[in-house]
Amino acid sequence: MLLFTGGTVVTMDPRIGDLKRGDVLVRGDRIAAVGPDLRSHPEAAGATVINTAGRIVSPGFVDTHRHAWQAQLRRSIPDVTDLGEYVMSTLARVAPAYTPHDMYVGTRLAALTALDAGITTMLDFSHNSRTAAHSDAAIQALVDTGIRGVHASMGPHFGDWDRQWPGDLERLRGAYHGVNEGLVTLRLAALATDEIAGPALAYGPELAAVARDLGLGVSIDAVFGAPSSAAILRWAADGLLDPGLTLIHATGLTPDAWRAMGDDGVTVSLAPTSDAQIGLETAVPAIEEALAAGIRPGLSIDVEVALASDMFTQMRALHAIQRMRAVNAAYGTDVVPYRITTRDVLDFATLQGARTNGLGDVTGSLTPGKQADLLVVRADDINTMPLNDAVGTLVLGADPRNIETVVVAGRIRKADGRLVDVDLDELRREVTASRDAILKAVASE
C-alpha cells in the first residue's frame, strides 16, 4: 500500500474533481481511494506514506503515437523541411540498417525518456518490423522499462524485410498481449493510403479483417488531405470506422470526412509539434475540426529525430496554436472566439489519450479502481512556485525536472527525481554504440 498525502490532487475525473489538499491511496496496482484526508482510512494502516505537501499529484501522461525505434537518432534532422525529407532520410535510408538489437536500444531509450518526463503510457508505432526478431526486441524493451506500453505493429516502408507482417501478429498477440502483468498490449498499425509505401501497408478490408479476427484495435498514421479523406469515406461505406480505430494527424481533411469520423466514433491522435514544425499538409493541428466533430483527441510525440520528447511541449504547442487560430479568425469582427483551456489540453494528454489507446477504462485519471499510474510534481521549485492553479502549473509551468515521482501500476519508476534501477552510464554507452553502428552501416552503402 502507498499513501500519497497532503498535496494538491488533480484527478481528471469530473465526478471527483480537484482537491486543494488531498490524498491518494494505492493498493497493489490500483487506486483504492481518493479523498481530502485518507490517513484514517481502514486500508491506510501500514501503508508506505509519501508526503506530497507542496506538490501536485496527477494522472500520468499518455502518448498516443511515437516511433520509438528512432530514439538513438533523436534530433538528427532538427530542421527537416517536409514529410518527404523525413521519409527518405529516416525510413528509406536509415531504417534498413537497424538490427533487432538497435530496435531494442531505441525503443528502450524512448520508453525511459517517456517515464522520466511523466508519460506512463506510450503507444509505440513500430513500423520497422523487418523480422519477427525486430518485433520481439521492440516489445521486450517495453517490458524491461516497466512502462504501460502499446506495441502497434506495422511492416517497414522500404528496404528488404521478411514480409512476416501482418501474419506475425497472431504470434505476437499470443506471446505478448497482456504480458508484464497486463502492462503491454498490442494494436495493428497501418497507413491511411498507398501513396508513401504502396498498398501492402494501407488500411482497408483485408487489414480490418486481421484486426477483427485477433481482437485488436487499429492505429492509422499519415492521415492527411484529400486522399485520406476519400479513404475515410470508403471505410465508412464499408463499415470499417468504429471506436477501435485511431486516426493519427488528421490534417487537411474534408468536412465530409470529419462528419463520418464523428458519426462513427473513431478516436484521433494529434501530433501538435509534428504537424506545425515538419509542415504536414496544412501544418495546423486539427483541434478545432476534431472538437467540432465531437471528438476529444489524444496527443502524441511522433518522431524524435526532429521533435521534442515530452508531453509538456505538446500541450503548450496545442494550447497556443488553437488560441492563436481562434483569435486570429475573429479579429476585426464581433465574434467571440472559442479558446481551449489548460484543463482541455491536460484532458487530451491524460484521459483522452488513454481512451485513444483503447485504455480508457484502465488509466488516464485518478479514479478508484483504475490502475495506479500517477505523477508527483514539485510545485515549489523555482519555475513552479508559488502554486496558484494546479492545472495551469502542470500545463504551462512544469517540465520534466519538476517530476519527483512516477508510478506505473502501483510501482515506482522514478523517485526523488531519478529513474529507478537505470544505469545511465551503461545506457549512454549502449545508445551511443548503437547509433554509431547504424550510421556506419548507412555510410558504407
Question: Do 286 and 235 belong to one domain?
Answer: yes
Domain membership of residue 258 (yes or no) is: yes
Domain end residue (candidates: 339, 356, 373): 356
Residue 326 has pLDDT above 80, yes or no: yes
Last residue of a domain, one of 341, 356, 371: 356
pLDDT, position 196: 83
CATH number, domain containing residue 21: 2.30.40.10
Lowest mean pLDDT among 118-132, 196-210, 244-258: 196-210
**With pLDDT > 90 as the criterion, what percentage of the chain qualifies?**
97
Q: Examine the pLDDT at 322 and tell me if it is beyond 80.
A: yes
Same structural domain, 352 and 229: yes
Q: Classify 185 in phi/psi space as left (phi over 0), alpha (psi -120 to 50) or beta.
A: beta
CB neighbours of 9 closer than 8 A, spacing ≥ 6?
18, 19, 22, 23, 24, 34, 56, 57, 58, 366
50 and 66 housed in the same domain: no
Domain co-membership, 121 together with 24:
no
* Per-residue confidence (pLDDT) for residue 195, from 0 to 100: 86
Whether 222 shows a pLDDT value over 80: the answer reads: yes
Residue 12 predicted with pLDDT over 90:
yes
Domain assignment of residue 436, yes or no: no
Residues 6+ apart with CB under 8 A from 73: 90, 94, 106, 304, 305, 435, 438
Do both 66 and 41 map to the same domain? no
pLDDT value for 48: 95
One domain, residues 376 and 311? no
At residue 197, the pLDDT reads 77
Same-domain pairing of 342 and 415: no
If you average pLDDT over residues 261-268, what whole number do you get? Answer: 98
As a whole number, mean pLDDT of residues 163-173 equals 97
Last residue of a domain, one of 325, 356, 387: 356
Query: At 373, phi and psi to the nearest 5?
Result: -110, 105
Instruction: Report the number of distinct structural domains present in the chain.
Output: 2
Looking at the structure, tell me whether residues 28 and 143 fall in a common domain: no
Dihedral angle at the C-alpha atoms of 400, 145, 153, 178, nearest 10 degrees?
-120
Mean pLDDT of the chain: 97
Q: Residue 131 belongs to a domain with what CATH number?
A: 3.20.20.140
pTM of the predicted model as reported, rounded to 2 decimal places: 0.97
Q: What is the pLDDT of residue 198?
A: 86
Domain enclosing residue 396, as ranges = 2-59+363-419
pLDDT grade for 286, boundaries at 50, 70 and 90: very high
> Residue 159 pLDDT > 80, yes or no?
yes
Residue 445: its pLDDT value, please? 74
Average pLDDT of 24-36? 97
The stretch 391-416 carries a mean pLDDT of: 98
Instruction: Indicate whether 326 and 251 sit together in one domain.
Output: yes
Instruction: Return the C-alpha cell found at 214.
Output: 485477433
- Residue 427 located in a structural domain: no
Q: Give me the numbers of helices (H) and strands (E) for the chain, helices first please.
A: 15, 17
* Domain shared by 7 and 78, yes or no: no
Least confident of 42-51, 63-72, 342-351: 42-51
